[in-house]
Amino acid sequence: MRPPVIALLPAYTFYRRWDIPDSNQFRLRVEQLEFRRHEVYEIYKAFRSCIAGDASDIHLLHGGSFDNSSWRDMVQCDSDVAFTGHSFGGCTVLSVLSSPPPEGHEPLPISQALALDPWFQPLSKPGPMPTSWSPSIPLCMIFSDQFAAWKEGHDEAEKLKKEWPAEASLFVLRTSALAGVTAR
């Protein structure tokens, strides 16, 4: 039998009233976005190594070894990568395109980006814009019906579509719904 795990945590606010303006209300999400952006680069690096035949950096949770023979040379990931994310993942797409690569990483070979119901709050203001390595990457944003009803997010997407230096588009799927979300 395992001993119980006890963690002593400092006092945190586990909920927040969103109707009270607070400049730090998305601080945790901003930090999470920074972490996620680094994860994307680390995962890409590990995946690329695996495809090239080196799986030495991949460790399985159950402790076994990873057999990458079925992956080796089967996937092309050195160019023309389509980068896609939903909700916070859509926010991650915009963040990666709007930020330089983390130290020690090369720019990802992204050729096109798709953001599904992208969440804009954790992004820095005035909003996402491509960096010097990503100015020609086309961007497509697709909103579900319910997500498009969020005026602030829709307005941000419309603004981004107009200002994005490469081709950008915004579509709303009028008969779609987010899983597990009911209309109010």
Render each residue's pLDDT in the chain as its tens digit; 184 residues.
444 444 444 444 444 444 444 555 677 888 899 999 999 999 999 888 888 888 777 778 887 777 788 777 778 889 999 999 999 999 999 999 999 999 999 999 999 999 999 998 888 776 778 777 777 899 999 999 888 888 988 999 999 999 998 899 999 988 755 666 555 4
- The answer to whether residue 18 sits within a structural domain is no
pLDDT of residue 118: 94
Cα–Cα nearest to 97, from 109, 87, 105, 80: 109
pLDDT of residue 116: 96
Domains held by the chain: number? 1
User: What does the block give as tokens for 88?
Assistant: 């916070």
pLDDT of residue 68: 80
- The answer to whether residue 8 sits within a structural domain is no
Q: For residue 22, which phi and psi values (nearest 5 degrees)?
A: -155, 120
- The answer to whether residue 72 sits within a structural domain is yes
Amino acid at 11: A
Q: Beginning with the edge strand found earlier in the chain, give each strand of the sheet holding 81-86 in spatial order.
A: 81-86, 110-116, 139-144, 168-173
- The answer to whether residue 147 sits within a structural domain is yes
Cα–Cα nearest to 118, from 80, 164, 84, 165: 84
Q: Could you tell me the end-to-end alpha-carbon distance of the chain, in angstroms, rounded to an integer? A: 47
> 0.85 cut: is pTM over it?
no
Q: Please, where are the H alpha helices in 63-177?
A: 88-97, 145-148, 151-163
Q: Report the distance separating Cα 42 and Cα 103, nearest Å.
A: 11
pLDDT of residue 177: 59
- The answer to whether residue 77 sits within a structural domain is yes
- The answer to whether residue 5 sits within a structural domain is no
- The answer to whether residue 180 sits within a structural domain is no
Residues spanned by the domain of 135: 27-173
CA distances from 56 to 49, 60, 77, 124, 174 (A): 9, 11, 19, 37, 47
Q: For residue 26, which phi and psi values (nearest 5 degrees)?
A: -110, 20
- The answer to whether residue 123 sits within a structural domain is yes
